[in-house]
Amino acid sequence: GMDEIVAIAAMGGTLIVFGKNHIVLWADGSGSEIGLSPARMQVVDTIEGTGCIARDSIQVTGEGDLIFLSRHGIQSLGRVIQSKSNPTVSLTKNVRASILAAIDTQRTADADFDQVRSTHSPEEGLYILNFPADDKQFVLDTRHSFIDDEGDRVFPVTEWKLGGSIVALLTTIGGKLYFGSAGVVGRYMLQNDNGNHYDFGFETGWLDFEELNHRIKMLKEILVSVVVGNGTINYTWEFDFTGTKLSRQIVYTNAAQSEYNVAEYNVDEYAGGAVVQRRSIAAHGEGQFLKLGVTVQVKDFAVAIQHMSVAPKIGRLVT
């Protein structure tokens, strides 16, 4: 059928032509390392049901793979080729609603997605896609992909709001990562925002403890393992979609630990001078569904959430 060419890219000895709803792969069969012969080029494969909607979203992320934005989310060409029977499979399936909402907002302001920009930093292990209409960036951790319960390969995804109306992204040959806005160029480095703190937030999905006829009769404690320097972490939990968050605040240091309402802690060594600190945080409340969260104001220290679990007393739900 008819389609509109959005982008053309090279992958190995193959020329990739991206339409909005199709992908066409061209090769000449010679296997030459210096390029294709226009006189001998032929279509070697076609993929229907997906395509690229933003030319500058395309990035080479490894030997034989490209990442691009489609109407289904952020996709890997290698994965799409392997799953031709399901061309809608995306690397961002777990945040699909957020990605599609950003696409809709961008389309309203920029129908052809000409303002969408991306970059890939092999040194940082990041693919960054910028939606200027939302002043929002979706960031894929390309070093830690994993296979989910459905057998699909996905990447951890974080959502950034750098502020300042970012319009350009650049990774240099030397590995430096830059962001550009009107009259300002910023570099990705250090653990602060131009001398100020930045906000980090994380929330789990809703946890139902696998059996919907059970409920948490009482939440006794939350068990956490974090890599952190000198900083304060606020832990939150919420029951049953109420919007009401309960919380505990913990102050960490690399050496002696200050604490609020903490029963115990353990410390393990971690590369780079930081440590993995394990805490048992006193908690309370009851409900059928539970969501955990973490918020931190980061300034000049590293934070990594390694593990979170809960110690509940389970009771049967009576209706």
Amino acid 263: pLDDT: 38
Architecture of domain 200-316: Sandwich (2.60)
* Cα–Cα distance measured from residue 96 to residue 207, given in angstroms and rounded to the nearest whole number: 19
Paired with 252 in beta bridges are 231
Centre a 10 Å sphere on the Cβ of residue 46 and count the other Cβ atoms it contains.
12
* Residues of the chain below pLDDT 70: 1, 31-34, 63, 209-217, 254-274, 315-319
What ranges do the domains of the chain cover? 5-189, 200-316
**Residue 252 CB-half CA count within 13 A:** 30
pLDDT for 272: 46
Give pLDDT, residue 180: 94
Q: And the tokens for 268?
A: 């393990």
Distance, C-alpha 30 to centroid of its chain: 39
Q: What is the pTM of this model?
A: 0.81
Residue among 249, 301, 302, 299 nearest 279 (CA): 249
How many whole angstroms separate alpha carbon 27 and alpha carbon 40? 8
Confidence (pLDDT) at 12: 77
Question: What type of residue is 12?
Answer: G
